[in-house]
């Protein structure tokens, strides 16, 4: 019987989501006959791994210390096959500003943006509104502020130290929210996310009824194919492994932009997509014929060392 350690929880602001992700994967693998140890990751991860002595490690962490390359470094030292991306790809994808520079170089359209000291961005507009301010190295829409046309700077983020000292300021991209999962060298599908909140925030992502998912997205074949092409290109360019999910905005109503390439903008790539009951990757896997148990088993089979 293969021993599997599932990493969950951790120390980032996304801990609660990771606990749900890890528990769901552990339950599935246990029911499939694997010997599963759930590890709520702490600063002594090295000791936790040695105590569990796994044959395979499934990384269900999100955010800092989970998907930014640091835990992946510990896993490389430990030496057991593990899931998702390795050190370099994880660190690069988590640094949104640098990742976008790489993606722009291979022809993917990304938002214009800059890094700004958080307190400066809270005092005065770094760029003309509308714009978005977000942590440069967090996910799950943690600490994201939208400053509307004619609005005031987001003064409240001056005290939000979880965002880090430098924040990413980007032009606000209007349009429909689309996402594409990539696994096993293929882009699975395009899902449109229709939030029941003002935008696709933390509540819309994880609360029951927070958003509605339309799969496949009701968009043109040309638009869908471009999203899938860019998602796979981003996955390969950043050196990702396992499953990733790329998020897009599609400004279909902009009549000034006639070329489909100019209507789609890639927002970011996630190297550790959520595996909660409302998550998008399991939904897309199901759409192409792979249920949740098969998806979790695939992650075990796909695990390797080094990544």
Give the residue numbers annotated as catalytic, written as ranges.
14, 140, 206, 245, 247, 268, 270, 274
Alpha-carbon gap, residue 155 to 149, rounded angstroms: 16
Q: Which residue has the tokens 């609660």?
A: 16
The crossing angle, in degrees rounded to 10, of helices 96-105 and 221-237 is: 110
Say how many CA atoms lie within 13 Å of 4 toward its Cβ. Answer: 32
Burial, 141: exposed, middle or buried (Cβ in 10 Å; 0-12, 13-18, 19+)? middle
Would the CA dihedral through 22, 23, 25, 30 be positive or negative? positive
Q: At 289, list the tokens.
A: 């014929």
Task: Determine the Cα–Cα distance for residues 218 and 197; give it in Å rounded to an integer.
Answer: 21
Interatomic CA distance for residues 146 and 119, integer angstroms: 16
Roughly how many angstroms between the first and final C-alpha of the chain, as a whole number?
24
């Amino acid at each position: 019987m293969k021993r599997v350690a599932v990493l969950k929880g951790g120390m980032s602001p996304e801990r609660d989501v990771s606990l749900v992700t890890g528990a769901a994967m552990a339950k599935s693998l246990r029911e499939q006959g694997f010997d599963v140890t759930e590890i709520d990751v702490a600063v002594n991860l090295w000791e936790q791994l040695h105590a569990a002595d796994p044959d395979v490690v499934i990384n269900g962490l999100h955010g800092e210390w989970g998907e930014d390359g640091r835990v992946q470094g510990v896993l490389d030292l430990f030496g057991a096959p593990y899931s998702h991306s390795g050190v370099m790809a994880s660190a690069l994808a988590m640094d949104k500003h640098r990742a976008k520079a790489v993606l722009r170089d291979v022809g993917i359209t990304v938002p214009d943006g800059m890094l700004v000291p958080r307190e400066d961005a809270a005092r005065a507009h770094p760029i003309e509104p509308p714009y978005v301010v977000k942590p440069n190295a967090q996910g799950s829409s943690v600490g994201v502020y939208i400053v509307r046309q004619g609005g005031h700077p987001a003064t409240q983020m001056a005290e939000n130290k979880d965002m880090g000292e430098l924040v990413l300021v980007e032009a606000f991209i209007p349009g429909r929210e689309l996402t594409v999962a990539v696994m096993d060298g293929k882009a699975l599908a395009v899902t449109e996310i229709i939030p029941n909140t003002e935008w696709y925030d933390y509540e819309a992502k994880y609360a029951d009824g927070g958003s509605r998912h339309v799969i496949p997205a009701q968009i043109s074949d040309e638009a869908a194919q471009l999203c899938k092409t860019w998602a796979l290109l981003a996955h390969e360019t950043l050196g990702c492994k396992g499953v990733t999910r790329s998020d897009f905005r599609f400004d279909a109503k902009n009549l000034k932009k006639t070329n489909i390439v100019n209507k789609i903008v890639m927002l970011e790539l996630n190297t550790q997509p959520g595996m909660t009951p409302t998550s998008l990757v399991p939904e897309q896997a199901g759409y192409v014929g792979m249920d949740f148990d098969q998806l979790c088993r695939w992650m075990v089979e796909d695990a390797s060392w080094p990544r």
